[in-house]
Structure 1
């Protein structure tokens, strides 16, 4: 059965179940193609992390806001507090929580989870600097850090907790497929196939009266095209897609019910593999940045649904705007082809009669841009970028791979250039920079780097990041941010392109309670830790 056929079938089932008193939503995140049965919540390229569902089963401790700096919603942890030196974080947990197999949840599960991540770096996708964790009673955990852990708070909160009584028997947790997941979440696995899976309500969920919907059916698509067709036809209730002509192709199909909200949450950069000699010249990186017309890129490729990032600091507006250094407030990036050509010449490149730049070694400057074959908007952006970079003599080639393969290649550094950014979140300006530029979080080529995929290694950058992390003094933190912004502007380790948005399309035919710009209690995307806050806030629409 094709994914689209499955969508039609499941939509029909959903309508039937709704008429009989239950509410099941059809959901789709990133296009992935057929799935393997793998519910390991720490696998970045796993099905639940790509199309959604992970936090519905394995919950986070608390949920940091992606749209309001400093706002956090308690979850499995009801409160938490750092020691004065930042090297201990005490968590007070909810009581009365049970795993979906009926076993009690306790501090031992949280301690086990963090100690497991410390011992298995391949699973530590947030790059947490962890010391030993310990329990101080059934509902109290103390996490320790080798360095001040203030800036790790958001990622500590977003870490998914797994049951010790199951995972402690696993010889290699990084390779564990977790085919029959057990969690504390509001939903539990019911059925699975390579084309999708159904999560049903957890009858023993710890939040009384929740969830108010009965299930979530995650449906697989090969690309945005097939997913958007299902969305337009009303076969999907909740999605995270780029939709071409969204007002016409989606909203207009049912204006009263078809909604979307795309708040910007993280910067997206053009990242070049900095282990390659042609990208190690600062003048070349500056030239590439000057060659780009960002407004044109997002107009053509994103229809302005994802806004251009035109601050040379790369920070996300509006939430990070107040953190921009005084000297860069109001400064914007603009295309300047003559200046870009001059920088290419300064770097030793000459444009030949064929219009392409040749270096001192006699080789043409070629850039290969990597993305997912399912990301149709990024493919379009690369096509526009091809024309813009040709103006300064750079030959662009576009390479596409399946989503999971694209991500895996980017992590191990098997790419020339690509869109990069703080994939795990930009909850503060620090996170935007650390996840993109921290030398202490990256890895050698061939080893997966969950942060800093471009392999930027700069002592001053790391010093400033660590300066910020060692204090809670706002003035000292801003001084560190100012220094990092100087590096962004003067050395251009990555090139600001656009602000990644939390894609979310949803309808109100069956349920209400969705977040939006007027009620931003979470982003509305079905992917990531915050999606469980959305799912537990939804309730069937009154008839």
Structure 2
């Protein structure tokens, strides 16, 4: 029994079920409520039983006004008709929130530096809880594996709706898989996460709330992929399906009536031909058509939806059909609107943070900015957390360079050994990371799995300029003209073009590494470019050296093979061996054939993802992968260090992050839908 206070007199309360609403519990004060299968959240029926209450639902008082800004949305029904039959009950960290306000954030540019902001509103079937160990339900109500991890069955929430009020069902998952991911007109080849060993999975939908993923071989890491990846394995069939020629005979004519070339052109305008959920909407990509379009962006399950999209930034409003509530029945999110501004100049971004003009930021923040941020946090009214990175800055020489002389040199492991030995990681740590980091070699996993030999993290990572010079001499890279800098074996100047983006690597790190390499006779030119310029050059095989943060925890590797198959990451990461990738993708019809170690890595990661994680086979495969990755030095590690996470004091229910981590998808484990703004 609970006790309540009436007119200053404590009285025994009636059983909690007699009350009109549920207790305002938080993680800091659970008021005796316990139970539930997962931390920090309950299914509605479980919560009502645990709290002895019957929940009444409440909505944002401004929701009608917010809904009116969403192009194509009709009048709103009552809240009970907008929520699923079993909404997810999210227990806030410290306080029950208040509605309203606008969350102000920064990104670099469209599709650049935006994963920060995407993660705040992101949803998927499941997520990692903030312990980064426990996978918990989100869009999916529950899941079940078969005995050999070849079949994953998900149960969706009955009555869940898209942001326009249309029912969300298993058909939307099957549409995503069959008609988007496996359509070569949208994706040239299937993404690795919908395949196992190159074979695609299939999706069954026996009813509206059941989704069955059938895998050609065991892949227990698929669930961890859903918990961490930015892509979303469901798309609105009721809207995008109208443009798909396999689903509608009128797809092309309907699209043409709206001003598109055909149905696929319309799909690409809304969804893009990428699984990156930040593809420009028609408001930006097709602004001349927006007035006549039924919707300005496709419906979402996320907490907020775009209502404007320009080259200067984006604005979003709360999703009136969002599926989460707090313990008192208030529909989440608390924050009414979100505003994203694009600023590609790092110094300007830092100034805006110091002036407390931003509510949250972690992406693109490097440790070198920590002193000025820490110095001003108390007087400016914000908070800085320094948290360890999963990744570290890594350098990858272009082993399939278009210039045959550079390709020959970069492709020789002795050259890569020399360039690794030439880096003074201790000095880099002291100068660039204030002594807060740990010098390491890149090994492919972060942190190092328990089955691995720790010695790999120091392989060719000691500072040994004599060893570097000896290897460079052996390769015939001599100083022909006596200027202290080495030429290529054919006599041409060897100058490395070190183009970098602050989003991926600190400028000071690049400058210091450039100096270390110059000390062993390798000249370079350092130039900062935008993320888009960097990625375009990388994709076109036009970089001398790739440089970006790199590394993944084993949980993610088990569901995503991209760090182990050329070009060793996706478009947004640190890639090398682009022509090896072309050879792999074309089954040898194009590109450059990779060495045997690379071919073995491809086989090993496939077997690794399917192996019993408690078996010696699993450990042996993992050790083999690390050995081949490290001995070949496809990527050269530097220093693993912490980085700043910024939030304004007005953001409530902001908890301590465990990592500064894109790999666990930034804010996603920390439940940003329960943030609220203390104005």
> Which of 259, 267, 283 is equivalent to 2:414?
283
Task: Report the 3-state secondary structure (helix = DSSP H, G, I; strand = E; otherwise coil) of the residue aligned with 2:155.
Answer: strand
CA–CA distance in 2 between the matches of 1:67 and 1:345? 50
Distance change >3 Å, CA 329–CA 100, structure 1 → 2? closer
CA–CA distance in 1 between the matches of 2:525 and 2:130? 34
> Which of 507, 510, 514 is equivalent to 1:382?
510
Give the greater-gyration-radius structure (CA). Answer: 2
Determine if the alignment matches structure 1 residue 168 to structure 2 residue 241: yes
Determine if the alignment matches structure 1 residue 265 to structure 2 residue 265: no
The 5-angstrom pairing of residues 310-321 of structure 1 reads 310-311=440-441, 313=443, 315-316=445-446, 319-320=447-448
> Which of 181, 205, 213 is equivalent to 1:143?
213
Could you tell me which residue of structure 2 aligns to residue 230 of structure 1? Answer: 352
Decide whether the 8 Å contact of 2:116 with 2:666 is kept in 1.
Answer: no
Give unpaired runs (5+ residues) of structure 1.
1-19, 36-45
Shift of residue 95 of structure 1?
Answer: 2.9
Task: Report the 3-state secondary structure (helix = DSSP H, G, I; strand = E; otherwise coil) of the residue aligned with 2:136.
Answer: strand
Could you tell me which residue of structure 1 aligns to residue 69 of structure 2? Answer: none
Could you tell me which residue of structure 1 aligns to residue 151 of structure 2? Answer: 88
* TM-score normalised over the length of structure 2: 0.65
Determine if the alignment matches structure 1 residue 515 to structure 2 residue 655: yes
Deviations 1:385-431 (A, max 9, x none): 111001222111224432222223323433111214558x5453746
Distance change >3 Å, CA 403–CA 349, structure 1 → 2? same
Distance change >3 Å, CA 82–CA 201, structure 1 → 2? same
* TM-score normalised over the length of structure 1: 0.80
Q: Which moved more, 1:524-533 or 1:182-191?
A: 524-533
> Which of 175, 184, 195 is equivalent to 1:112?
175
Shift of residue 114 of structure 1?
Answer: 2.1
Deviations 1:413-470 (A, max 9, x none): 33111214558x5453746994333149789xxxx69785434641222222122112
Could you tell me which residue of structure 2 aligns to residue 454 of structure 1? Answer: 577
Q: Which moved more, 1:387-396 or 1:267-276?
A: 267-276
CA–CA distance in 1 between the matches of 2:116 and 2:560? 26
Decide whether the 8 Å contact of 2:99 with 2:334 is kept in 1.
Answer: no
Determine if the alignment matches structure 1 residue 59 to structure 2 residue 123: yes
Could you tell me which residue of structure 2 aligns to residue 10 of structure 1? Answer: none
The 5-angstrom pairing of residues 330-349 of structure 1 reads 333-349=461-477
In the alignment of these two chains, the number of paired residues is 495
CA–CA distance in 2 between the matches of 1:526 and 1:495? 19
Determine if the alignment matches structure 1 residue 184 to structure 2 residue 287: no
Shift of residue 289 of structure 1?
Answer: 0.6
Distance change >3 Å, CA 540–CA 66, structure 1 → 2? closer
The 5-angstrom pairing of residues 274-423 of structure 1 reads 274-275=399-400, 276-303=407-434, 307-311=437-441, 313=443, 315-316=445-446, 319-320=447-448, 322-325=450-453, 328=456, 333-352=461-480, 353-372=482-501, 374-375=502-503, 378-420=506-548, 422=550
Distance change >3 Å, CA 511–CA 524, structure 1 → 2? farther
CA–CA distance in 1 between the matches of 2:419 and 2:655? 38
Decide whether the 8 Å contact of 1:126 with 1:450 is kept in 2.
Answer: no
Distance change >3 Å, CA 289–CA 332, structure 1 → 2? closer
Task: Report the 3-state secondary structure (helix = DSSP H, G, I; strand = E; otherwise coil) of the residue aligned with 1:260.
Answer: strand
Give unpaired runs (5+ residues) of structure 2.
1-97, 244-262, 273-279, 283-295, 401-406, 581-593
> Which of 628, 634, 637 is equivalent to 1:487?
628
Distance change >3 Å, CA 258–CA 204, structure 1 → 2? same
Shift of residue 191 of structure 1?
Answer: 3.5
Distance change >3 Å, CA 534–CA 123, structure 1 → 2? farther
Could you tell me which residue of structure 2 aligns to residue 193 of structure 1? Answer: 310
CA–CA distance in 1 between the matches of 2:674 and 2:660? 12
> Which of 534, 539, 543 is equivalent to 2:676?
539
Distance change >3 Å, CA 260–CA 482, structure 1 → 2? same
Shift of residue 495 of structure 1?
Answer: 0.9
Task: Report the 3-state secondary structure (helix = DSSP H, G, I; strand = E; otherwise coil) of the residue aligned with 1:392.
Answer: coil
CA–CA distance in 2 between the matches of 1:112 and 1:432? 21
Could you tell me which residue of structure 2 aligns to residue 436 of structure 1? Answer: 563
Shift of residue 136 of structure 1?
Answer: 2.1
Q: Which moved more, 1:411-420 or 1:252-261?
A: 252-261
CA–CA distance in 1 between the matches of 2:396 and 2:621? 23
Shift of residue 479 of structure 1?
Answer: 1.2
Determine if the alignment matches structure 1 residue 205 to structure 2 residue 322: yes
Q: Which moved more, 1:402-411 or 1:453-462?
A: 453-462
Shift of residue 529 of structure 1?
Answer: 6.9
Distance change >3 Å, CA 190–CA 250, structure 1 → 2? farther
CA–CA distance in 2 between the matches of 1:400 and 1:107? 45
